[in-house]
């Protein structure tokens, strides 16, 4: 299986400040035939299912605020919240969908308000 490692496990950011979450895969999730990174980001709030924010590493899902952005390629990826809002308090997960034998998630990063 491809192992996804997120850092940090948690972070506290002041309202309006930038939050940055990292995700590293144990092998590349860049598919050479289409030059796409099979990497997604989710947001999960307590008591709710995960919500897809970003796919193909940097494509924002419809309706997702533009303060959320994804970047990276190959094995190293980043989710950035440019200006943290109160409603962004949640756990964020990365997921690779490159390996069709097992899609795997990172361990999650809890984002709180400082």
Identity of the residue, 74 or 97, whose beta carbon is nearer to another protein in the bound complex: 97
Which residue, among 62, 42, 38, has the nearest Cα to 53 in the 3D structure?
42
Residues forming beta bridges with residue 59, ordered by sequence position: 55
Identity of the residue, 19 or 40, whose beta carbon is nearer to another protein in the bound complex: 40
Q: How far out from the chain centre does Cα 94 lie?
A: 4
Q: Please tell me the distance from the alpha carbon of residue 70 to that of residue 50, in angstroms, as a whole number.
A: 17
In the complex, the smallest distance separating the C-beta of residue 19 from another protein, rounded to whole angstroms, is 19
Q: 31 φ, ψ to 5°?
A: -90, 115
In the complex, the smallest distance separating the C-beta of residue 40 from another protein, rounded to whole angstroms, is 5
Identity of the residue, 19 or 29, whose beta carbon is nearer to another protein in the bound complex: 29
| Contact residues: another protein, CB under 8 A | 1, 38, 40, 42, 44, 49-52, 55-56, 61, 93, 95, 97, 100-108
């Amino acid at each position: 299986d491809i192992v996804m490692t997120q850092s940090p496990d948690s972070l506290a950011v002041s309202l309006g400040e930038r939050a940055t979450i990292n995700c590293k895969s144990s092998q590349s999730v860049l598919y050479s035939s289409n030059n796409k990174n099979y990497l997604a980001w989710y947001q999960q709030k307590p008591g709710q299912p995960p919500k897809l924010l970003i796919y193909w590493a940097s494509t924002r899902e419809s309706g997702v605020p533009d303060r959320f952005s994804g970047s990276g390629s190959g094995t190293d990826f980043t989710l950035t919240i440019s200006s943290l809002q109160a409603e962004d308090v949640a756990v964020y997960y990365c997921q690779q969908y490159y390996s069709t034998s097992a899609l795997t998630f990172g361990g999650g990063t809890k984002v709180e308000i400082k």
